[in-house]
Amino acid sequence: MTGKKKLPIGIDIFEKMDREEFYYVDKTGMIEDLIQNRSEVNLFNRPRRFGKSLNMSMLKTFFEIGSDAGLFAGLKIAEDKELCEKYMGQFPVISISLKSVEGLSFEAAKKALKDILGVEAGRFYFLTKSSKLTAEEIESYKALPRVGETGDFLMSDTAMEKALLRLSSLLCKHYGKQVILLIDEYDVPLDKAFQYGYYDEMVSLLRNMFGNALKTNPDLYFAVLTGCLRISKESIFTGLDNLKVLTLTDVRFDEYFGFTDIEVKDMLEYYGLSGHYAEVKEWFRDVSRKDGETLNQFCEAFPDQNPKKIEEIFSDYLWNNCKVMLG
């Protein structure tokens, strides 16, 4: 396979696909579908390894002001020149992933969340020089990425809960354009909180943060959230009437997560492995069935707050996968 593009195993940064010559399965059609069929807040629930994080990176790269149009050359979305002219590089984008919000205690998890919000806020330090903002607004921004002598972010709990709302307001005023908000792996903090005994506190924190940023926010153009678990709307999304939930069973947008039959055939042909199609399909069907059954059991156990059942399911899943990998 000399001269072939590399397989992007574990790569979830869209820019790397082009710049480091990885094989990319074109999912840019999602951009057009999202523009035409979106709700104000769009929540995608999909299993792990279905390309959620890479799609979020793709959305950020496409919409964010200052984006590199060359990264989309030759891809499906580039065929619609009118759409690209109207939407590409036209929006301020706030993009965070909550995959590292965890800890043995609620305080540790809060610190991890403040780290994520502080780093993202730091990307917009140009706001401190904005002629569109008042002195008070600039000071309110500076409170978000400010760090102490130990290097920890100093934002208060109240500032943390309102950080996304504050950033969207300031960016909208600076650019004169509404903001796109991307939140990847929104459910990880809840999973970890349940494991370590501070679930109720984390639910309250996320409910406040998401409520501030997503509910009746005049500076929000639209938001996309991704996760694995089916979290009850009544838990962290209370009162979000503008929320559209798209699960694995929903046919809308289904071709943008995982691989379609045609995409698998094209990939195998590119690497000279077309003769293994039936074998790959059978393997995937078997793995998908087993993973799907496990995921359904896990999702049923999680809302029931049954830690013993969750631990048993998770342990069995890890052990079975280890046996496969070890042969």
CA distance 254 to 257: 6
Q: What is the pLDDT of residue 185?
A: 93
Which tokens is 4 given?
Answer: 């072939």
pLDDT tens for each residue of 182-196: 999 999 999 889 999
Where b means 16+ CB within 10 Å and e means fewer, 218-238 reads ebbbbbbbbbbbbbeeeebbe
Would you say residue 305 has pLDDT above 90? no
Rg (C-alpha) for the chain, rounded Å, is: 21
CA distance 217 to 132: 20
pLDDT band at 307, cuts 50/70/90? low
CA distance 232 to 37: 23
User: Could you give the percent of the chain with pLDDT greater than 70?
Assistant: 85
Q: Is 215 helix (H, G, I), strand (E, B) or coil?
A: coil
Would you say residue 133 has pLDDT above 80? yes
Q: DSSP letter for 186, please.
A: T
What number of H helices and E strands is found in the chain? Answer: 14, 5
pLDDT band at 323, cuts 50/70/90? very low
CA distance 40 to 310: 33
pLDDT tens for each residue of 88-125: 999 999 999 999 999 999 999 999 999 999 999 999 99
Report the predicted TM-score, pTM, of the whole model to 2 decimal places.
0.85
Show the domains of the chain with their CATH numbers: 14-254 (3.40.50), 259-327 (no CATH)
Q: Identify which of 194, 261, 226, 211 has the alpha carbon closest to the alpha carbon of residue 48.
A: 226
Q: Identify which of 18, 42, 22, 47 has the alpha carbon closest to the alpha carbon of residue 31.
A: 42
| Planar angle of CA 89, 211, 115, nearest 5 degrees | 65
Would you say residue 310 has pLDDT above 90? no
Q: What is the pLDDT of residue 40?
A: 92
φ, ψ (nearest 5 deg) of residue 257: -130, 130
Which of 3-17, 181-195, 201-215, 310-324 is the least confident region?
Answer: 310-324
CA distance 109 to 105: 6
Would you say residue 11 has pLDDT above 60? yes
Q: What is the pLDDT of residue 48?
A: 80
Q: Are 42 and 34 in contact (CB under 8 A)?
A: yes
Strands across the sheet with 243-246, in order?
A: 93-97, 179-184, 220-227, 41-45, 243-246
